[in-house]
Amino acid sequence: MGAALGASRARVVAERRSPLGGAEAAAFAALLERRRLREPVAYLLGEREFWSLDLAVDGRVLVPRPETERLVEVALETIQRAPTLPGARPWRVADVGTGSGAVAIAIAASAPPGSRGLVVATDRSRDALLVARANVERHRGECHWPVLAVRADLLSAMAPASLDLVVSNPPYLSPSEMASLAPELRFEPAGALAGGDDDGLGVVRSLVGQAASVLVPGGFLAFEIGAGQGAAALGLFGPETWRDPAIVRDIEGRDRVVVARRDPLA
Ligand SMILES: C[S@@+](CC[C@H](N)C(=O)[O-])C[C@H]1O[C@@H](n2cnc3c(N)ncnc32)[C@H](O)[C@@H]1O
């Protein structure tokens, strides 16, 4: 109702007995009808809050999920452990599959004071990048580090050993999960959901393979997974390249984020 009236929640409550004008009633009915067809509320409003940032969202991008904030926490903890890198060089971070830009902007906005860095936000969807760029622009003033949105397939645009941290919330749904999606998810871009391979980890496999070469020795990789994918995801890290692969659980105790470090000597 607030969206239909262009009014705050408080005003809607305060004026709940006022009759609606014809145009207002029509706008509200149109929103109700879209919701009846199970379109996500975030798309109806064109906004979703993530990491206390209001982000513009529409059908070109995934609606950022609260559980993805765990990935942001892991990234920030990693940076916090070494806010200053050897030689005082800036942190070079990539957010792969940035969608609305949620993860990249959250990291840049909450980077530790005094730290220096840059976040490159990549997506292979041109449409998604337009949304990401608009959100980067909107939050430029809150970001301590610059965010650059670049169209690329995974990490293909990155030079060898050029990144200190790769984060990603990649698509990871399996074909069987894609076949039984909740109605709301059918409004989201299929390319943001379908992970490829029978277990949904196709994109993740490519990501781990590419990260092994674009990370500096000792650099970090952190990505989101589905709750049932922890064991399979840990199996992707060969001991000749990776150190300390581990699962981080979300607030509900489900496997949510995988972290690993490129062998400092590899
Ligand atoms: C699950 S969504 C995540 C969006 C955003 N990071 C978030 O957490 O809300 C995955 C994103 O990855 C992008 N994507 C899928 N495959 C990709 C690829 N091979 N290279 C780059 N981006 C890809 C999709 O377009 C989509 O925007």
Reduced to 3 states (helix: H, G, I; strand: E, B; else coil), residue 56 is strand
What confidence score (pLDDT) does residue 84 get?
85
- Which residue lies with its CA nearest to atom 12 of ligand 1? 97
pLDDT tens track, the chain, 266 positions:
999 999 999 999 999 899 888 999 999 999 999 999 999 999 999 999 999 999 999 999 999 999 999 999 999 999 999 888 888 899 999 999 999 999 999 999 999 988 999 999 999 999 999 999 999 999 999 999 999 999 999 999 999 999 999 999 999 999 999 999 999 999 999 999 999 999 999 999 999 999 999 999 999 999 999 999 999 999 999 999 999 999 999 989 999 999 999 999 97
The response to whether residue 128 sits with its C-beta less than 6 Å from ligand 1 reads yes
The response to whether residue 57 sits with its C-beta less than 6 Å from ligand 1 reads no
31 CA to centre of ligand 1 in angstroms: 27
Rounded Cα distance, 168 and 198, in Å: 20
Q: Which residue has the tokens 């940035």?
A: 98
Contact predicate 121/136, CB 8 Å? yes
The response to whether residue 132 sits with its C-beta less than 6 Å from ligand 1 reads no
Contact predicate 105/139, CB 8 Å? yes
What confidence score (pLDDT) does residue 136 get?
98
pLDDT, tens digit (0-9, with 9 covering 90-100), for 44-69: 999 999 999 999 999 999 999 999 99
- Which residue lies with its CA nearest to atom 24 of ligand 1? 192
Largest CA distance in the chain: 71
Looking at domain 61-262, which of 2.40.50.320, 3.20.20.70, 3.90.180.10, 3.40.50.150 is its CATH number?
Answer: 3.40.50.150
- Which residue lies with its CA nearest to atom 10 of ligand 1? 192
- Which residue lies with its CA nearest to atom 7 of ligand 1? 64
pTM of structure: 0.96
Domain ranges of the chain: 2-36, 61-262
Which of the 8 DSSP states describes residue 259?
E
Rounded Cα distance, 192 and 233, in Å: 19
172 CA to centre of ligand 1 in angstroms: 10
